Amino acid sequence: MNIRKWFYLFWTTLAVGMVASVLTVFVIQITDPNLKWNDLSVIGFSLLFGATYSALSQMGFFAYLTLNFIARGMFKPATWRQIQWVLIIITFVDVIVLRAWLFEDSKGWAYYAILPVVLGIISWLAAKWKSQMTNASAFTPTLFFLFAVTIVEAVPALRQNNMDSTINMMIPLMACNLWQILILHRLLGSGQTGQAGQDGERARPTATFT
**Is residue 204 assigned to a domain?**
no
Q: Is residue 210 part of a domain?
A: no
* Any domain includes 62: yes
- For residue range 102-119, list pLDDT tens digits in order: 777 667 788 889 999 999
Looking at every residue in the chain, the average pLDDT score rounds to 84
- Rounded to whole angstroms, the Cα distance separating 193 from 204 reads 7
Residue 164: give the domain boundaries: 3-187
pTM over 0.75: yes
In a domain, 66, yes or no: yes
Q: Residue range 115-131: average pLDDT?
A: 95
Residue 140 inside a domain? The answer is yes
- pLDDT at residue 196 is higher than 60: no
| Residue 207 included in any domain | no
Per-residue pLDDT tens digits for 67-105: 999 999 999 999 999 999 999 999 999 998 888 887 776
Rounded Cα–Cα distance for residues 44 and 139 (Å): 37
Domain total in the chain: 1
Q: What is the pLDDT at residue 177?
A: 97
Evaluate whether residue 81 is within a structural domain: yes
